[in-house]
Copies of this chain bind each other. A is one copy, B any other.
Amino acid sequence: MSKTNTTRSVNKTAHPFNRASLEALLNRRFFYAPAFEIYGGIAGLYDYGPPGSSLQANIIAEWRRHFIIQEHMLELDTTILTPSPVFETSGHVARFADWMVKDTKIGEVLRADHLVEGVLEARLKGDKEARGALQEASAVNDKDKKKKKTVKSTAVKLDDAVIAEYENVLAQIDNYTGPELGQLLRKYNITNPTTGNEVDEPVQFNLMFDSSIGPTGKQKGYLRPETAQGHFLNFSRLLDFNNNKLPFASAQIGRSFRNEISPRAGLIRVREFTMAEIEHYVDPLDKSHERFDEAKDIKLRFLPRDVQSRGKTDLIEMSVGEAVEKKIVDNQTLGYFLARVYLYLSRIGIDPARLRFRQHMENEMAHYASDCWDAEIFTSYGWIECVGCADRSAYDLTVHAKKTGAPLVARVALPEPVITEREVATFDKKILGKTFQKDGEALRVHVTELPNDELEIIKDALKTNGSYPVTLPDGRQFSLTSELVTIERRQLKQSIREFTPNVIEPSFGIGRILYALLEHSYWAREQDIQRGVLSLPAVVAPTKVLVVPLSANEKLAPAVAEISSKLRKAGVFSRVDDSTASIGKRYSRNDELGTPYGITIDFATVSNGTVTLRERDTTDQLIGKIDEVTAVVTELVEGSLDWEGACQRLPAYDGVQAID
């Protein structure tokens, strides 16, 4: 969190973090709530209310500024509805699935890996209880906490060998196939923990929502599970827009959908969510980045693959430059984006001490990825993947080009033409037709496409023997003769290199980031645990300044209007709270909404034109003339002044105790 230097120290950790309190606040103040609540709700669907929508809009606006505008990315807005052939080609129809099992009696559907994991963990916990040694679960598996279905444990002691076996299974839980999960379910007698009923064999469940496009019912479509395919399909248009120059990036902010088998953990695992995705297209032979120097000294906390494969989670803190140099991070472009992600998340208020970059294990990566680093943020649900930075290599462009015939390639002029020499076979077409009739063309194509070394062998044989036997892949046999074919060494000149770009993809889950930010921002006043505060940075806070008239007395109205108007002209979003609640109550309510500054108008405003300026976290108040205070608060909101600076510009207000 970008801390303001304050004149009064604030203890934000007086009370331990309490998720239930935060959730109560978020629900009460309508940051978000279950969608269709009055209809009983639908798991995994949430609506954002006014403060949540504003916070989300501000997170997105800052994302657009930080990435699209500063990096001159090409923005896209492509459709959510996608015809089936696109996802058949991308592999999603076949592979974007989880394994599920059904309770054989009541038909309840469970995710197979979650079921095995939940039951074995409960048994291990029961064993610890039986041994009288129950402690909090270790932090090693914390990244998976979010996935766990809570299964009640029973105190039953297990054999040491069984414990080792369970732990081994749990360590690999992400790697099992459906049939293997089925074997585990049977081997360990795992039933539905809620009912005790058996479950049937795991079946694949595709996570894409499907629908039908148009009135005929014959055109199957899906709701996109990511925005990425919309970028790739437009690659040629984007390259053209960019004057055929590489590298460049496209960016898109939009809704995606995944039909999760068991949504859980609030905003963390939902069925409809807003993503922000970047697809950065690079020459596979040159993954350097022209602005890498600006990023190379930024220090990040890495959790590389080899550390994890030793069963450890120790973080390595080093500069991006060093990480790229040591090949921990594969290339400059990937490193540059990791640094930019770090800067972005820190700027909107994510605590850098609760942010790490974890490399995917080989078997954990999406089917298209050649390398992947997740920005993970620590929350009360454990470490949560909030940004995935994958090197998708040339996978997507290659498969779509192959399927459609569209040339999804880039061409660069070679600095010098490349001259190569090789053997070239030339047939006498007249003799070819006369000798082999229709079969001749197949022979000709086969021979002209042979590798250079084979052509050299044939050339020698023809020179020596005058003939050479050739067998086509389909078994047809021919005899080549010197009359039929001439093989000569020729020079070939190549001045253009054509290639399929590689794609490096930073992909942001906006809802997860928003939730993590709310956790990192939340605390309660030391003197009153009920007084929750969201210390959102001004850049994302829904309202920047609260304008508070002391009372409803109409003499205060002109100053309220004047301040509101001046703030509006300065581009600072303010709200007036002229309700009849006490000033203290009104500030408390706005501390809950994360409003960083407050301007109080009282009768001193009428008599001598002064107002007070309150800072949310410290509750410190300063006093000044209206123009001074609006100027200071504008600079505070824009980030060109911090609170300590403000305290040097304006005197402290000593009536603070009276009204707060």
Chain A residues near B (Cβ < 8 Å): 29-30, 33, 35-39, 42-43, 45-50, 52-54, 56-57, 64, 69, 72, 74-83, 85-86, 100, 107, 109, 205, 209-216, 219, 221, 223, 230, 233-234, 236-238, 240-241, 243, 252, 254-255, 257, 259, 261, 271-272, 400, 403-404, 406, 408, 573, 575, 579
Known: A47-B230, A234-B33, A272-B81. A109 touches B215 (CB 8 A): yes
| Docked-complex contact A45 and B81, CB < 8 angstroms | yes
- Choice from B53, B64, B257 contacting A77 with Cβ under 8 Å: B53
A619 CB, min distance to chain B CBs, angstroms: 23
Closest chain B residue, CB of each to CB of A237: B30
- Choice from B79, B81, B216 contacting A107 with Cβ under 8 Å: B216
| Docked-complex contact A47 and B86, CB < 8 angstroms | no
Closest chain B residue, CB of each to CB of A35: B79
In the bound complex, how far is the Cα of B230 from the Cα of A38, in angstroms? 11
Q: Across chains A and B, which 8 residue pairs bring their CB atoms closest together, nearest first?
A: A38-B406, A53-B75, A48-B77, A47-B78, A50-B74, A109-B215, A38-B404, A209-B211
Specify which chain B residues have a CB less than 8 angstroms from the CB of A37 in the assembled complex: 233-234
Known: A30-B241, A259-B214. A233 touches B75 (CB 8 A): no
- Choice from B38, B50, B212, B259 contacting A215 with Cβ under 8 Å: B259
Specify which chain B residues have a CB less than 8 angstroms from the CB of A50 in the assembled complex: 74-76, 238, 241
Specify which chain B residues have a CB less than 8 angstroms from the CB of A211 in the assembled complex: 209-211, 223
A302 CB, min distance to chain B CBs, angstroms: 31
Specify which chain B residues have a CB less than 8 angstroms from the CB of A254 in the assembled complex: 255
Specify which chain B residues have a CB less than 8 angstroms from the CB of A238 in the assembled complex: 30, 49-50
Specify which chain B residues have a CB less than 8 angstroms from the CB of A261 in the assembled complex: 214-215
| Docked-complex contact B53 and A57, CB < 8 angstroms | no
| Docked-complex contact A38 and B233, CB < 8 angstroms | yes
- Choice from B72, B79, B255, B408 contacting A80 with Cβ under 8 Å: B255
Known: A211-B209, A234-B33, A259-B213. A56 touches B77 (CB 8 A): yes
| Docked-complex contact B80 and A272, CB < 8 angstroms | yes
| Docked-complex contact A234 and B47, CB < 8 angstroms | yes
- Choice from B45, B79, B403, B579 contacting A47 with Cβ under 8 Å: B79
| Docked-complex contact A573 and B213, CB < 8 angstroms | no
In the bound complex, how far is the Cα of B234 from the Cα of A37, in angstroms? 8
Known: A36-B233, A272-B79. A213 touches B42 (CB 8 A): yes
Specify which chain B residues have a CB less than 8 angstroms from the CB of A30 in the assembled complex: 234, 237-238, 240-241
A15 CB, min distance to chain B CBs, angstroms: 26
In the bound complex, how far is the Cα of B205 from the Cα of A72, in angstroms? 44
| Docked-complex contact A69 and B573, CB < 8 angstroms | yes
Specify which chain B residues have a CB less than 8 angstroms from the CB of A39 in the assembled complex: 83, 85-86, 233, 403-404
Specify which chain B residues have a CB less than 8 angstroms from the CB of A209 in the assembled complex: 81, 211-213
In the bound complex, how far is the Cα of B207 from the Cα of A212, in angstroms? 11
A76 CB, min distance to chain B CBs, angstroms: 6
Specify which chain B residues have a CB less than 8 angstroms from the CB of A404 in the assembled complex: 38-39
Specify which chain B residues have a CB less than 8 angstroms from the CB of A47 in the assembled complex: 76-79, 230, 233-234
Specify which chain B residues have a CB less than 8 angstroms from the CB of A400 in the assembled complex: 38
- Choice from B69, B75, B237, B271 contacting A81 with Cβ under 8 Å: B271
Q: A50-B76, A53-B77 are in contact. List 18 more A-B contacts (CB 8 A).
A: A30-B234, A30-B238, A35-B79, A37-B233, A47-B76, A47-B77, A48-B76, A50-B74, A53-B75, A72-B575, A80-B257, A205-B215, A209-B211, A209-B212, A211-B211, A212-B259, A213-B259, A223-B223
Known: A39-B233, A213-B42. A243 touches B77 (CB 8 A): no
In the bound complex, how far is the Cα of B218 from the Cα of A546, in angstroms? 48
| Docked-complex contact A237 and B78, CB < 8 angstroms | no
List 28 A-B pairs, Cβ < 8 Å.
A30-B240, A35-B78, A35-B233, A36-B82, A36-B83, A38-B400, A38-B404, A39-B85, A42-B81, A43-B214, A45-B79, A46-B79, A47-B76, A47-B230, A48-B78, A49-B74, A50-B241, A53-B252, A57-B64, A57-B75, A69-B573, A80-B255, A80-B257, A81-B209, A81-B271, A109-B216, A214-B259, A254-B255
A570 CB, min distance to chain B CBs, angstroms: 12
Specify which chain B residues have a CB less than 8 angstroms from the CB of A76 in the assembled complex: 47-50, 53
Closest chain B residue, CB of each to CB of A107: B216
| Docked-complex contact B255 and A100, CB < 8 angstroms | no
A266 CB, min distance to chain B CBs, angstroms: 14
In the bound complex, how far is the Cα of B109 from the Cα of A77, in angstroms? 29
In the bound complex, how far is the Cα of B201 from the Cα of A104, in angstroms? 45
Known: A33-B234, A237-B33. A75 touches B54 (CB 8 A): yes
Closest chain B residue, CB of each to CB of A241: B30
Specify which chain B residues have a CB less than 8 angstroms from the CB of A74 in the assembled complex: 49-50
In the bound complex, how far is the Cα of B48 from the Cα of A215, in angstroms? 25
In the bound complex, how far is the Cα of B32 from the Cα of A230, in angstroms? 13
In the bound complex, how far is the Cα of B78 from the Cα of A48, in angstroms? 6
Specify which chain B residues have a CB less than 8 angstroms from the CB of A56 in the assembled complex: 77
In the bound complex, how far is the Cα of B113 from the Cα of A581, in angstroms? 58
Specify which chain B residues have a CB less than 8 angstroms from the CB of A83 in the assembled complex: 36, 39, 42
In the bound complex, how far is the Cα of B75 from the Cα of A54, in angstroms? 7
In the bound complex, how far is the Cα of B50 from the Cα of A230, in angstroms? 13
In the bound complex, how far is the Cα of B83 from the Cα of A412, in angstroms? 51
A505 CB, min distance to chain B CBs, angstroms: 18
A517 CB, min distance to chain B CBs, angstroms: 16
A538 CB, min distance to chain B CBs, angstroms: 16
In the bound complex, how far is the Cα of B75 from the Cα of A229, in angstroms? 30
Closest chain B residue, CB of each to CB of A28: B240
Closest chain B residue, CB of each to CB of A235: B38
A509 CB, min distance to chain B CBs, angstroms: 15
